[in-house]
Amino acid sequence: MYLPNILYSQHSHSLKEPGNSAYCLKCHSLTNFAFYNNKNGDLSLRGLTVDTKLFSQSVHGKLTCQRCHKDIKEYPHSKAPAKVECSRCHTQIASSFAKSVHSQGLTGTNSDMPTCTTCHGAGNPHAIPKISTVVTTHDKMKLCTTCHADADLMARNHSSTEAVHSYQSTFHYKAIKFGATHTATCHDCHTSHNVLPKNNPASSIAPQHIAKTCAQAGCHKGANMNFAMSGASHLSAHIEEEPLLWFVEKFFIVLTLGTMLALCSYILLDIQKRFGWLKLGTKAVTSIVMFIGKIMYAVISKIPAMLRFLKHVLID
């Protein structure tokens, strides 16, 4: 249903029952109730239909329409309704959000930035779920990664998708992918509404707060600065800042693969000794194993010295 002429009129009438949402829903519950914006050359269609079932089940389901749309006092509307400000009720959250890196979404100065309904209600302000609604850990994570994995969106806002890529290599992400329900998602470390860069002293990931963030209830009890700054989260992003971590990463890859190779070789030799299945090439295999063993011994013997060096460079 497209009603271009009766939405705004010079001849309006006061609402008979201002506190009765049913009066508003006589029109706004109609399927495909919409109009063209026709503003500044924008001819996009704006939907005005309210799904009454979703609204009744939402956290605001018991509120009247005019609780949020305070300027609507007549019908047909004499002018376009004002934008609803969530901050009228949610003052503390709005105050935090206004200081965050996403604040331009609240002020409307950057359409790429999230608004309240971007995360709450999946863009539908009339379908914001109740707080008791079960939101899976995967869905919580997706709220952030949907935007932060968008290369074009990040490029326009002078950011990078590396935060998502590096998070996907962590235990936290892999645990979620395998169905874990009690592991860290983005907002557990960065908060939901007060997301700040790490160079902001008030940020939850600032050097003076990062250990406390890791040690919060339900996470890594007793975590200290060394643990928090180890690079376990967003390692590839840390490597860009500390190139030495690249060598540490490669060292442990070689160490792990070498250890696995040595174990497999030991198993093969044990089979040979017990069952004689590998008579051919025994000498060659033995020589290879001895060579690998010498290398592994040399590498392992250097670990204490390397750890002391890393501690001196990264911590002291």
> What pLDDT sits at residue 83?
86
> What pLDDT sits at residue 190?
93
pTM for this prediction: 0.68
Alpha carbon of 164 to those of 96, 213, 244: distances in Å?
Answer: 24, 19, 22
The partner residues of 14 in beta bridges, in order of sequence, read 74
| CA-based max dimension of the chain | 101
58 near 128, Cβ under 8 Å? yes
* pLDDT tens digit sequence for 207-264: 899 999 999 988 999 888 888 877 667 766 566 666 677 777 788 888 889 899 888 8
> What pLDDT sits at residue 235?
66
Distance CA(254)–CA(262), nearest Å, equals 12
The partner residues of 46 in beta bridges, in order of sequence, read 35
Domain boundaries, the chain: 13-84, 137-241, 244-314
Residue 45 main-chain phi, psi, to 5 deg: -90, 130
Burial group, residue 203, by CB count within 10 angstroms (0-12, 13-18, 19+):
buried
Distance CA(273)–CA(166), nearest Å, equals 45
- Comparing CA positions, the residue from 214, 219, 210, 187 lying closest to residue 97 is 187
> What pLDDT sits at residue 102?
93
For the chain, what is the HEC assignment? CECCCCCECCCCEECCCCCCHHHHHHHHCCCCCEEECCECCECCEEECCCCHHHHHHCCCCCCCHHHHCCCCCEECECCCCCCCCHHHCCHHHHHHHHHCCCHHHHHCCCCCCCCHHHHCCCCCCCCCCCCCCCCCHHHHHHHHHHHHCCHHHHHHCCCCCHHHHHHCCCHHHHHHHCCCCCCCCHHHHHCCCCCCCCCCCCCCCCCCCHHHHHCCCCCCCCCCHHHHCCCCCCHHHHHHHCCHHHHHHHHHHHHHHHHHHHHHHHHHHHHHHHHCCCCCCHHHHHHHHHHHHHHHHHHHHHHHHHHHHHHHHHCC
237 near 244, Cβ under 8 Å? no
- Comparing CA positions, the residue from 46, 22, 49, 44 lying closest to residue 33 is 49
Spans in the chain with pLDDT lower than 50: 1-2, 4-11
36 near 8, Cβ under 8 Å? no
> What pLDDT sits at residue 26?
86
Distance CA(309)–CA(81), nearest Å, equals 65
* pLDDT tens digit sequence for 95-120: 999 999 999 988 888 989 999 999 99
Distance CA(231)–CA(170), nearest Å, equals 10
- Dihedral angle computed from the Cα positions of residues 236, 241, 246 and 249, in that order, rounded to the nearest 10 degrees: -50
